[in-house]
């Protein structure tokens, strides 16, 4: 049943502003227990206490005792890498050669790209993630397929053709002229259509020549509303390699600056091995680090110093980075983010974690008006969660003495099994029969 006017009853949780990393107070938390969330024409139009029953012109769904939040935003994930999630025994550079590149090669076949895109988007939604910034492959067909599936679901999705003209297998390499031509075609076809946006996507500095990075910077200079996504300073061997390949750059991050790739719409995955000048540069240009804790732990890459990034004024969002990451669940990802900070003597709150996966990511992407909150006027990308989905979790939930304690246990013990339903632009997600 797809109703134009839809009312969801439950506990509404979102954030009015950015919490600090370790403040458990409620200052920025907007919690409205037992409320109706009103959705009309795909947008949030209001909220009212549970005792005020919306009139019969509203299709009512009662999720009393459940948590209603904005859908999660995953700012860095690779659609073709569902095939290699949970692959054993490598660090980044070996992992790319051993697992990732062979998997991505299969996307040269349009039917494989279509199937992969469909599966990927289904999986995102079934984990409560309604928006994502996505790496497909170097193949144009993989970009078309992903955009088509996202358009069909009216999702807010940001992606673009991966650029790689060196240090990759021949079947995954492009060249500067061909890549530029394909980027221009894809931008014209997809950027700004529905809720889609194009991201200029050099995989990472080692796999693009100077000429290709310059071409990417050129695309951004003439269309500043395009996004840019890439990887930076994930792994120490990678950082050393970049220093060899770009001897004139001050740092890995500086490579991207020199080619005009940094700006408020730049999304840089990882950012573990940065220095103070890099952090200052991030703050100055407004680019965000997409923190990918399960990937960083799984590949043994290192621990993100979130505290220093925050102190410098740099933006941080949270990402699964599947398939280096080990789950599409943002809840699991947040739980691992807590542990990454704990290993460095800091205590990430549930508020900061949940904010970062919703409004924080939206703000960093310049989309705060559209996603990431339950504000009136926002697009109704919504996830309904069970606070506790197992006997142990229910036991723990019942013992929580404060809302933060409750939400921290939800974040630490929860995953996709807690998801009760998900809406994209006000339309309930229904699992595709083909996947």
Please, which residue, 229 or 378, has the CB nearer to Zn ion? 229
Smallest gap from residue 132 Cβ to Zn ion (A): 12
Which CB sits closer to Zn ion, 212 or 320?
320
Least distance (Å) from Zn ion to the CB of residue 334?
18
State in angstroms the smallest separation of the CB of 96 from Zn ion: 10
What does the alpha-carbon distance between residue 252 and residue 162 come to, in Å, rounded to a whole number? 19
Nearer to Zn ion, 68 or 274 (CB): 274
Residues with Cβ within 8 Å of residue 213, at least 6 apart in sequence? 202, 205, 255, 256, 259, 261
Nearer to Zn ion by Cβ, of 67 and 319: the residue is 319
To Zn ion, the closest distance from the beta carbon of 324 in angstroms equals 6
Q: How far is the CB of 301 from Zn ion (least distance, A)?
A: 10
Task: Compare residues 96 and 196 and give the one whose CB is closer to Zn ion.
Answer: 96
Tell the smallest beta-carbon distance from residue 78 to Zn ion (Å). 6
Complex with Zn ion: residue 7 or 262, whichever CB lies closer: 262
Residue with smaller CB distance to Zn ion, 324 or 360: 324
Q: Min. distance of Cβ 56 from Zn ion in angstroms? A: 48
Q: How far is CA 277 from the centre of its chain?
A: 26
Nearer to Zn ion, 78 or 257 (CB): 78
State the nearest-atom distance from the C-beta of 134 to Zn ion, in Å.
10
219 or 269, CB closer to Zn ion? 269
Q: Which residues contact 212 (CB under 8 A, 6 or more apart)?
A: 163, 165, 176, 179, 202
Residue of minimal CB distance from Zn ion?
A: 321
State the residues that interact with Zn ion by CB under 5 A: 269, 321
> For the chain, how big is the Rg over CA atoms in Å?
21
Instruction: Give me the least distance between CB of 40 and Zn ion, in Å please.
Output: 38
């Amino acid at each position: 049943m797809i109703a134009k006017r839809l009312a969801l009853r439950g506990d509404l949780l979102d954030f009015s502003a950015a919490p600090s990393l370790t403040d458990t107070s409620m200052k920025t938390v907007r919690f409205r227990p037992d409320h109706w969330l009103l959705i009309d024409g795909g947008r949030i139009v209001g909220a009212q206490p549970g005792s005020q029953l919306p009139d019969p012109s509203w299709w009512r769904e009662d999720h009393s005792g459940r948590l209603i939040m904005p859908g999660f935003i995953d700012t860095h994930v690779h659609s073709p890498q569902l095939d290699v999630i949970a692959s054993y025994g490598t660090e980044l550079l070996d992992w790319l050669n051993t697992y990732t590149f062979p998997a991505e090669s299969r996307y040269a076949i349009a039917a494989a790209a279509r199937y992969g895109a469909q599966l990927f988007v289904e999986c995102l939604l079934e984990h409560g993630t309604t928006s994502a910034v996505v790496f497909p492959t170097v193949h144009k067909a993989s970009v078309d397929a992903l955009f088509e599936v996202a358009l069909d679901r009216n999702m807010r999705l940001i992606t673009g053709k991966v650029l790689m003209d060196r240090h990759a297998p021949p079947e995954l390499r492009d060249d500067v002229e061909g890549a530029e031509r394909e980027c221009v075609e894809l931008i014209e076809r997809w950027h700004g259509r529905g809720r889609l946006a194009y991201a200029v996507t050099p995989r990472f500095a080692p796999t693009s020549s100077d000429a290709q990075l310059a071409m990417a910077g050129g695309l951004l200079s003439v269309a500043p509303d395009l996004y840019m996504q890439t990887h930076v300073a994930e792994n120490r061997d990678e950082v050393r390699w970049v220093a060899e390949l770009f001897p004139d750059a001050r740092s890995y991050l500086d490579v991207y600056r020199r080619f005009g790739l940094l700006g408020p719409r730049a999304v840089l995955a990882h950012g573990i091995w940065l220095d103070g000048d890099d952090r200052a540069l991030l703050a100055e240009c407004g680019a965000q680090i997409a923190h990918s804790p399960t990937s960083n732990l799984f590949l043994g890459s290192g621990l993100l110093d979130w505290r220093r990034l925050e102190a410098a004024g740099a933006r941080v969002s949270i990402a699964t980075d599947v398939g280096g990451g080990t789950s599409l669940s943002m809840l699991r990802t947040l739980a691992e983010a807590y542990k990454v900070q704990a290993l460095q003597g800091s205590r990430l709150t549930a508020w900061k974690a949940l904010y970062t996966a919703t409004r924080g990511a939206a703000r960093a992407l310049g989309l705060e008006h559209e996603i990431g909150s339950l504000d009136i006027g926002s697009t109704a990308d919504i996830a309904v969660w069970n606070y506790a989905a197992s006997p142990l979790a229910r036991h723990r939930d019942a013992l929580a003495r404060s809302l933060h304690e409750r939400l921290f246990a939800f974040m630490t013990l929860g995953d996709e099994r807690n998801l009760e339903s998900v809406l994209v632009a006000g339309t309930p997600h229904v699992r595709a029969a083909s996947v």
